Structure 1
C-alpha cells in the first residue's frame, strides 16, 4: 500500500511517500498521520476521507506548510513537481502558496478577513504575486467569483464576509484559491454548507479544472461528492490509511469494515422520518408575512425575505431549505428575535414575539426567551474560547433562571451522551462532534419548547452526522421539543423533518408535509433542488459513479 506508482512519475504534480505528522505533548510525540503515500498527476483527483480527527486536514496542511510550527513532519519523499517540500523556509512557502498550490480552507465562516471586502481579499493574492494592474485585477476578481458560482459577482466583491451567506463565503474562498490558476488545488471540504444546486456548480467547476490539467487533493465527508469527482481514494482512520484504491471500486465494493461503516452512515441510506405527533390545531410558533429589505453596497434596497409565512407545531420538525442566500438564515434571525422585520409578525406561545412595532422589545420577550434556543452552524465560533464546557453550560442554566450545581451540568452532558469528564475542557480541545453535542446541551439547558437548528451537521463527517441526528431525534421524543431545521442537505431533511418549506430568492415557493414535498414536488425550483441532490447522492450505487482512471 505504501509504494508509489512509477507510472507517470515524470509529470506528477505531487509525490507523497511515507508522510508522517506528529505533535509534541507532555506525554511525548503524538502521531496524527502515519505513513501516508500517494501520487497525484495532472488532471487527477485524489480524495482523503474519514471521520473527524482521522488526519485528513493535517495531512493537507502539511503539503502547504501550515501544519503548525510545532509539527514534526517526515517523509521518504515529498515533492511538488521537481521541488522538494521538506524543510522549506517560510519565505519559500509564501512563494508557493497561491501560485503553485491553492487551498480552499474548511471553515468559510472564519477564514475570510472580516474587515475587508471579498474583492479586496481576492485581489490581495493577485497583487502579492504581481499579477496584472489594478483594473485587470478587479476584472479578474469578478470573473473568478462568477466561475465559482457567485450571484451578482460585482456586487458581492464589494461586500464583507458578514454580509454574505455561508455558501457565498465558501464560493469566495474557492475563487481566492484559484486566483493564480495553480497546478495543484487542495480542497478541504469545499462544499460544506452549500445547497445541492451550488454543490453541483462547484462539482462542475472542479471537473473543469481537472479536464484542464489541474491536480486536486480533495478532503470531504460527502461521499457522494467524492464519488463524482475522485479518481483515487484514501480512507483514513486514526491517522492510518486503512484502505485505498480506485474510487468506483472502493465505493462499490469496500473491503474494510470502517469504509463500509462510513458508507452506511449516509443519511440518504438511512430510514426516512418516523411518524411524529399530528399537527395540533394551534401552532406553537406562527410567522405571518415576514418581509425585510436592506440596502446593498450600491445603495439599492433588496428584499432579503418577502411575505414569508410558516407554522411550527409542538414535537415536530419543520425543515427550511433553499439555495445559499435564499433568506433561510435571515428568516431564522427574525423568528429568534435577533432581527426586526419591516413587515409581518411572529407569534410564539400565543404572545407577540416579533414585528415592526416598537412595543415588541427584547424586554417584552424576556419572559419567553428561555423557551427558545438555537444551535449554530459553527459551534466553536459561538463559544467563549476562554470558558470550559462547565462554564458554557452553567451560563446557559443561569440565564434560564435555574440554580447551577455540578449535578445540573453532569445531567446536561448525560443528555447529549457525553462524559462528565469533559466538563473541565475548553472547546478547542474537543472534536467537531463533541463541540456540537455541547452546543446541543447548551440549547436544552433552558428546557426550551423550540430549538432553531442552523445547519447543525454541515461541517461534520457522515458517521458523526448520524450520531448527532439520532441524538436530536431522541431528545425530541424525550423532551417534546419542536425544531426549525435549516439545512442544504436533502438526506438530513428527509431523515429529520415532518414538514418542509422551500425558499427561493427570499420567498417560500412551496411547503407542506415532508413526504409529499420531497416525493412529489410541485414547484420547478423544488424539483431542481431534489434533482441536484439526487445527482450528488448514492455513492455506493454503481450506476451513479463515473468510472475513473486508475492511478
Structure 2
C-alpha cells in the first residue's frame, strides 16, 4: 500500500534525510524512532507529499488505496485560534459528506424526482460524523464549543486526531501522538490505534515513546542523523538490537533520586481561582508553596488545570484572582517585569518562536531585553547555552521550520535560562525528546539547580521524569490541589 524508495531531503546544503526506504501494507503499524533531528518528521511529511519551506525532497513515495492524514506533534500549529474546534470539525465533515455525495452521483443515474440532500440534511450528517470522530478520538463533546487556547495540549491532540479520522484515511502519520497525554488517555490512544489497525488503516508512528511503540508497532525503523541504522520486526529491534545507537537509546531512562534539602519558601500561590473566558473555573482556590532551590512537580490528567496554574504563575493567564508572591512580595502584573524572575518553557516550543528569524538570534534577544546585555555579549552567552543544551552553531542559526520539535524545545530552554530567572516553569519540556537527549537535559536542570539555585515548577505526565527531578509532588484534579511526598 505504501512504498518509500531512496527518500532524500536537503536544506541549505545540509542533508536531513538520506536514502530512506521501506514498505507498509494495509493495517500495518510502522514506527520511526530516533533522536530529535534524526529526520523522522521530515520523512513523515514526505509521506504526505509535504515538506518544510526550503527543503528539497527527492526519491519515490507511492501510496495506493486511499488518502493519508496527519496528526502533528504540536496540534496548536494546525488549529485556528479564532474558531471553536467543533465548528472546524463540522466544516471538514461537511466537505467530506459533499465529496461522498458527488462521488455517488458520478457512479449512478439519479432517479426521476430525486433531489440532492437539503442543507439541513447535510448539517445533520456532518454532526453525526463529528460525533463519531469525537467518540473514536476520546474527545468529550462538551469541549467542541471551546477555542484551542481553552484546551490542554492533550485535548488539542484529540481534536486533531478527530479531524484526521473525518478524512476516512487509508494511512495516518502520527507525530508523537502520546506527547502531553496522561496515562489513562495514553492507554486510550493506543487502544484506538489498535482499532484503526483492525479496520485496515495503516499507521506510521514517529515517536520517542518506546512503550507505545512496543505496544503497537509491527515493524520499527531506527533513524540517526538522517539515515536508517536498523530496521526489522518490532520484537527483534526492541529486544535484541544490533546497532550500538539502538542499544543506547533503549537503555536510557531517568534514574530516580532522593529529595534534597532546600531553603525557605520562595514562591507562594494563595487562593488562586482561574477561569477560561466565559467558562467555569479551571482552578478552584489553589494554594501552594515552592521552596527556594526546590523542584515541585504538578501532575494530573489532561485538562485538570496544570498548564493554567503554570501560566498564572508566569503572568500569562489574566482571568484569575488570588495572590502569587515571591519572597513575600506580590509578583509584578506587568509581564516583562515578571519575566525577569519567572521564565516559562512551553510544551509547544514551535509556537513560541518567530518563524522568520534565526533561532539563535531570538535566544540572544532575551539577554538584551531582560538583562540589558550588549548584542555582542548576548550572542556569546546564547551560543554557550545553546551548545550546553546540545545545539551547535549551524543548527541554531537556522529558522525554526528547519529544526525538529525536540531541537526547538532545547532552544526554548536555553532562551529561558538566558534571562537568569529565579523560577523556571517547565511545561512538558521533555515530551518531544528522545531518551538520550532527555537524560542530558534532566542532568543539566539538576546542575543548574545546584549551581545557580534555580527553582523549578515542573508540569509533567512522565512519572519517570517526576521521580528524577521532583522534591515534592502536587496533584491537580478538577481544579483542586492535593500534596504527596516524592514518588
For 2:385 and 2:9, the matched residues in 1 are separated by: 34
For 2:419 and 2:11, the matched residues in 1 are separated by: 40
1:406 to 348, 372, 376: 376
Q: Secondary structure at the match of 1:173?
A: helix
Aligned to 1:328: 306
Residues 226 and 279 (structure 1 numbering): CA distance in 2 closer, same or farther, change over 3 Å?
same
Aligned to 1:160: 147
Question: Is residue 37–residue 404 contact of structure 2 (8 Å, CA) maintained in 1?
Answer: yes
For 2:3 and 2:214, the matched residues in 1 are separated by: 22
Question: Is residue 104–residue 188 contact of structure 1 (8 Å, CA) maintained in 2?
Answer: yes
Question: Is residue 269–residue 323 contact of structure 2 (8 Å, CA) maintained in 1?
Answer: yes
Structure 1 unmatched runs, 5+: 1-13, 82-95, 354-359, 519-551
2:133 to 132, 140, 144: 144
Aligned to 1:10: none
For 1:295 and 1:421, the matched residues in 2 are separated by: 42
Question: Is residue 36–residue 407 contact of structure 2 (8 Å, CA) maintained in 1?
Answer: no
For 2:447 and 2:139, the matched residues in 1 are separated by: 38
Aligned to 2:483: 511
Aligned to 2:265: 283
- Quote the offset at 1:51 in angstroms: 1.5
Deviations 1:118-177 (A, max 9, x none): 1232223332232571112112212211221123x1x32222212211111100111111
Aligned to 1:256: 243
Question: Is residue 433–residue 468 contact of structure 1 (8 Å, CA) maintained in 2?
Answer: no
Find out whether 1:397 has 2:367 as its counterpart. Answer: yes
Find out whether 1:110 has 2:77 as its counterpart. Answer: yes
Residues 443 and 59 (structure 1 numbering): CA distance in 2 closer, same or farther, change over 3 Å?
closer
Aligned to 1:46: 30
> When the two structures are superposed, what TM-score results if normalisation uses the length of structure 1?
0.77
For 1:215 and 1:485, the matched residues in 2 are separated by: 36
Residues 279 and 323 (structure 1 numbering): CA distance in 2 closer, same or farther, change over 3 Å?
same
Q: Secondary structure at the match of 1:182?
A: coil
- Name which of structure 1's ranges 314-323 and 451-460 shifts more when overlaid on structure 2: 451-460
Aligned to 1:491: 464
Q: Secondary structure at the match of 1:158?
A: coil
Question: Is residue 105–residue 189 contact of structure 1 (8 Å, CA) maintained in 2?
Answer: yes
Residues 327 and 23 (structure 1 numbering): CA distance in 2 closer, same or farther, change over 3 Å?
same
Aligned to 1:273: 257
For 1:50 and 1:391, the matched residues in 2 are separated by: 28
Question: Is residue 10–residue 16 contact of structure 2 (8 Å, CA) maintained in 1?
Answer: yes
2:286 to 287, 308, 317: 308
For 2:328 and 2:232, the matched residues in 1 are separated by: 58
For 2:126 and 2:205, the matched residues in 1 are separated by: 28
Find out whether 1:61 has 2:45 as its counterpart. Answer: yes
For 1:241 and 1:394, the matched residues in 2 are separated by: 35
Tell me how large the CA RMSD over aligned residues is: 2.6
Aligned to 1:375: 345
After TM superposition, list the pairs within 5 Å mapping 1:111-510 onto structure 2.
111-129=78-96, 130=98, 131=100, 133-151=122-140, 153=141, 155-265=142-252, 269-276=253-260, 278-280=261-263, 282-294=264-276, 296=278, 301-340=279-318, 342-353=320-331, 361-362=333-334, 366=337, 369-389=339-359, 391-416=361-386, 417=388, 418-419=391-392, 424-508=397-481, 510=482
For 2:181 and 2:167, the matched residues in 1 are separated by: 24
- Number of matched residues? 461
Q: After TM superposition, what 4+ stretches of structure 1 lie above 6 angstroms from structure 2?
A: none
Q: Secondary structure at the match of 1:113?
A: coil
